[in-house]
Amino acid sequence: MIKVHKFIVGVMGGGEGASRKTLEMAYQLGKLLASEGWALLCGGRAAGVMEASAKGAKEAGGLTVGILPGRDKSGASRYIDIAICTGMGDGRNYINVLSSDIVVALPGRAGTISEIALALKSGKKVILLDFDTGDLFDFYRSEGLLWSVRTPEEAIRLIKEYYVEKYNSPA
């Protein structure tokens, strides 16, 4: 099958209050995504998982896309290559997940939970990276849409498997 676009991995997670461990995993995930040649899409702000994952991707030479909540780019992370202003506030979460080929969610609060829910409801595969959501999404786990991993490397392995399944070619 012919690839018609760059493979986009959505990275979702907490903006404020993310732990050092979560930020380190986000950074490493961003680096690994870039090393695979995949684009990283996130909420685009200069905070938390968004900033850390974009920084990792940029430092590894990757392409980063930020879907911003406001009408201007003033809050964008300096590690975002393409900043898309929506003026939609939290409504941008739908753009985040629908524009992603697959979603990786790190620990976060209500915004991250909403992105996971929107992705699953839209039939997108979601990988929870060191993020325990309890039994909230068990139905989707049983349907094969939701996976849980502990490390960024495990997330990359699952993304590669999904890529091969979707495009019938190596990642």
Q: What is the pLDDT of residue 9?
A: 98
Distance CA 31, CA 25 (A): 10
- Please state the rounded mean pLDDT for residues 94-111: 97
The reply to whether 138 falls in a domain is: no
Crossing angle of helices 48-59 and 20-35, in 10° steps, is: 40
Residue 4 belongs to a domain: no
Give the span between the Cα atoms of 125 and 52, in whole angstroms.
22
Dist CA 96 CA 118 (whole Å): 10
The count of structural domains within the chain is 1
* 112 within domain boundaries: no
pTM over 0.75: yes
pLDDT of residue 3: 53
